[in-house]
Amino acid sequence: MVEDLKGKETWRVFRIMSEFIEGFDELSDVGPAVSIFGSARIESNKKYYKQCVEVATLLSKNGYAVITGGGPGLMEAANKGALQNGGMSIGLNITLPREQKANKYQSRSLHFKYFFARKVMFVKYAVGYVCMPGGFGTLDELFEALTLIQTHKIYPFPIILFGKEYWAPLMDFIKKTMLHHKTIDPEDLDYIDITDDPKEVLAIINKHMDKKMKLIKSAKPKEKKEGLARMKNRKGIP
């Protein structure tokens, strides 16, 4: 047992801890943020790149921070739209053998080795996800969030698929195959919005924030009342 504790795995635990600590410390002051995902391979002259810039522009102008994976392609587009409009533009960079090169539009950059530590930061500080067209990484983040919401591990927030044409085959599979085999419930589809309109993205996020703020305000009097009740009980006041 003593020899096992001297192995490399023990030091890896400290590296993992440091990534969580740095992430929590650096992002603790971030207000409402939207995590935007998308392919690193889509170039700046493509339609989805320009639309991603527009989405991030609208979000930043309305007070939302933008969080991306920090790389090129659509991640760059999202950071660009946020930074150029005075918003907080956060990049959660990760070490990869190829594709991952930090874009220059980050006002705040963090660097990760482990995907799971990075994923926590994406979801912890987000009030919504926007999934632009992307590959395995985008799908990974999409289904991770859906699973966390479906299993009640996190408070539900909007998951928006941008690009109806791109996402149509996936939605067909979900509706026609997964529902047919009853591997998901019909109400699980309510977790997903799909659009081609940047303004609709903002409207969905704003609607969620309005609902969330109402819940917070309604909960405060109840919490205050329960707190007073607990104080009375401790003091023996009838």
Rounded average pLDDT over 10-14: 84
In a domain, 220, yes or no: yes
In a domain, 13, yes or no: no
In a domain, 175, yes or no: yes
Alpha-carbon distance of 231 to 129, in angstroms, equals: 40
What are the tens digits of pLDDT across the range 54-85? Answer: 999 999 999 999 999 999 999 999 999 999 99
Q: Which residues contact 199 (CB under 8 A, 6 or more apart)?
A: 58
**How many Cβ atoms are within 10 Å of 74's Cβ, its own excluded?**
34
End-to-end Cα, the chain, rounded Å? 56
Rounded average pLDDT over 175-181: 97
In a domain, 2, yes or no: no
Host domain of residue 217: 18-235
Residue tagged 């983040």 (tokens): 141
In a domain, 10, yes or no: no
Alpha-carbon distance of 195 to 58, in angstroms, equals: 15
In a domain, 5, yes or no: no
Domains contained in the chain, number: 1
Q: Report the CATH number at residue 173.
A: 3.40.50.450
Confidence of residue 237 (pLDDT cuts 50, 70, 90): very low
